Amino acid sequence: DGKPMNYRQYVLSQDKYSALLPYPEDEGLAIKISSTLKRQAGTQSDDRYFKCSRSVPLNHGIEFKALFYPVTETNNVEVKFRVENNGQQARAIEGGGDHENFVKAVRRESGEFFAKSWEGSSYLGLHYMFVSVYEDGKLTLPEQKYSVFIG
């Protein structure tokens, strides 16, 4: 029809972008992080989300799950879920909406521990969930980054 297209081009750093994506090597990490998309907390969903694999709509949320073996023999195990928000909407509010919470981990019959945390999709942009493990109040498994794109 002869009309010019209205589009934008972006230059991506291959190294930076690749670091956000899921890889088979992730299976060898100490904390196995997985996530499920849900419309609201506490509901059942089979809609698995792999880190930065697709855009999550604003009216959804994500349940993050951490599965790991503890370093010590204690049963006093907590998982820290720390959110780092990016993008214009997050920058517009004090603290950028960044926050963290500790969740008591539960031992499974296999000896692995499990914890989960729900997060609503509140701001457009690229965001991170950092997951780490504390045993008896001491950091034993350092943070691992899980990238999420809300759009």
**Full pLDDT tens readout for the chain, 151 residues:** 677 777 766 666 666 666 666 666 677 899 999 999 998 888 999 999 999 888 999 889 999 999 999 999 999 999 999 999 988 888 898 888 899 999 999 999 999 999 999 999 888 999 999 999 999 999 999 999 999 999 8
Beta bridge partners of 76: none
Token pair in block for residue 41: 């907390």
The Cα–Cα gap between 50 and 52 comes to 6
Q: What 3-state DSSP class applies to 90?
A: helix
Contact indicator for 80, 102 with CB cutoff of 8 Å: yes
Contact indicator for 61, 41 with CB cutoff of 8 Å: yes
